[in-house]
Amino acid sequence: METETRGSRRVNKRIVIALGGNALGLNFQDQMAAAGRAAKIIAGLVRDGYEVVVSHGNGPQVGMIDRAMGMLAAEEPDLAQAPLSVCVAMTQGYIGYDLQNFLREELLRMGIDKPVTSLVTQVVVDRSDEAFANPTKPIGRFMDREEAAAWERRGCRVIEDSGRGYRRVVPSPKPVDIVEIETIRSLLDCGQVVVACGGGGIPVVREGCSLRGVSAVIDKDFASARLARMIGADYLVILTAVERVAVNYAKPDQRWLSRISVEEARAYIAQGQFAPGSMLPKVEAAVEFASSLPGRRALITLLEKAGEGLKGETGTVICA
Ligand code: ADP
Ligand code: MG
């Protein structure tokens, strides 16, 4: 599955940019503004000569759509609840729509006439992934006991989340394969900017010739690392709400990390330095990518610092 496509033909550095779902806002107007800001920065990287694939998170957005579809199903007796895989597909559509339009616009402003495509992307997961027996990823908003019970009657798992109320939890299996990978490679090879694997990808399992959507949400940081490996990227760039990764985070002896080896990162993971569900998957994804082939690196930084980070001036760089 892993390919090394860094042929002699390729001169530009290829990068995967993973945008945080939280940074995309909680409503349509905020999302437009956020996508506009992200597009300016990403277009700047395209102008600098990088071949770019953009992936993005969808935690708040998939929760909102799932809830909206739930309300509709409650109102319309003939309408079943939308499968979670369909909700993920919807988030790819409306987030990709904003990103591709703003990217196109920013590139044109820079005098660059480059097509931008966002791709409905399916990501294969393993039916026997232990995540299916142990759903851990909370999605959507907090609910009271009564509402939680209604979800449980529909066969969904609900947890009490640290005294703040009840939340639905879904399995978060690891990405195994990207169904549309050849399309992504082809688009990149002909010079396009691609938005792919949004929200970690639509989770599917293979059943003979069919792909069947499953009720899960794949972590976008892991999906981005998989994508970066499969397109032979040089750099995995994870853009989030902090400029650098820290050890002893939010403690008096907090220390920001600027450049660490894969081994150091693994040691910090083992010490429990990174919060599960937020920084841990980023550092794990960075380690997975940086250790996959010599020369590959991962960067974790703020959206606004992406350019400086790629020049090695800020952010946390993880390399072999
Ligand atoms: P995204 O939406 O970009 O995936 P997350 O909220 O999931 O963002 O993860 C990023 C957050 O992780 C940071 O904003 C920070 O609050 C938190 N975090 C947890 N542990 C650390 C750490 N060790 N160093 C830096 N940030 C951390
Ligand atoms: Mg996250």
User: How far away, in angstroms, is 210 Cα from ligand 2 center?
Assistant: 30
Q: How remote is the CA of residue 201 from the centroid of ligand 2, in Å?
A: 14
Enumerate the active-site residues.
21-22, 137, 220, 282
The predicted structure's pLDDT at residue 8: 45
Q: 57 near 199, Cβ under 8 Å?
A: yes
User: Would you say the CB of residue 273 lies under 6 angstroms from ligand 1?
Assistant: yes
Expressed in angstroms and rounded, the spacing between residue 240 Cα and the centre of ligand 2 is 8
- Burial class from Cβ neighbours inside 10 Å (0-12, 13-18, 19+) for residue 27 reads exposed
Structure-token pair, residue 194: 């691609």
57 lines ligand 1 (CB under 6 A): yes
Ligand nearest to the CA of 280: 1
Helix axes 279-290, 220-230, angle to 10 degrees: 10
> Residue 198 has what DSSP assignment?
G
pLDDT of residue 10: 62
The pLDDT value given to residue 162? 65
What pLDDT is stored for residue 233 in this prediction?
Answer: 97
Cβ–ligand 1 distance for 21 under 6 Å, the answer yes
What is the C-alpha radius of gyration for the chain, rounded to an integer number of angstroms? 19
The finding on whether 278 has its CB within 6 A of some atom of ligand 1 is yes
**How far is the centre of ligand 2, averaged over its atoms, from the C-alpha of 19 (Å)?**
9
CATH of region 14-124+176-207+216-319, choose from 3.40.720.10, 3.50.50.60, 3.40.1160.10, 3.40.50.300: 3.40.1160.10
**Does residue 280 have its Cβ closer than 6 Å to ligand 1?**
no
* Best residue for ligand 1 mutational test, from 278, 299, 303 (most atoms within 8 Å of Cβ): 278
**Residue 11, pLDDT score:** 67
CA 76 to chain centre: 33
Work out the angle between the directed axes of helices 59-75 and 84-109 (0-180°, nearest 10): 130
CA distance 307 to 22: 21
Structure tokens at 160: 């009490």
- Please report which ligand is nearest the Cα atom of 60: 1
Q: For strands 202-207 and 122-124, give the pairing.
A: parallel
Pocket test for ligand 1, best of 19, 222, 236, 240 (most atoms within 8 A of CB): 240
From first to last of its 320 residues, the chain has per-residue pLDDT tens of 454 444 445 667 999 999 987 778 878 999 999 999 999 999 999 999 999 999 999 988 998 998 899 889 889 989 988 999 999 999 999 999 999 999 999 999 999 999 999 999 999 999 999 999 988 887 877 789 998 998 899 888 898 876 778 988 899 999 999 999 999 999 999 999 999 999 999 999 999 999 999 999 999 999 999 999 999 999 999 999 999 999 999 999 999 999 999 999 999 999 999 988 789 999 999 999 999 999 999 999 999 999 999 999 999 999 99
Regarding the beta carbon of 192 and ligand 1, being less than 6 Å apart is answered no
Task: Look at residue 189 and give its three-state secondary structure.
Answer: helix
Measured in Å, residue 278 CA sits from the centre of ligand 1 at 5
Closest ligand 1 atom, CA of 238? 3
pLDDT at 160: 83
The model's pTM: 0.92
* Ligand 2 center–CA 107 separation, angstroms: 28
Ligand 1 pocket, mutate which of 136, 222, 253, 279 (most atoms under 8 A from CB): 279
Domain boundaries, the chain: 14-124+176-207+216-319
Strand-strand pairing, 122-124 and 255-257:
unpaired
Strand partners, 15: 52, 235
Give the residue whose CA is nearest to atom 25 of ligand 1.
245
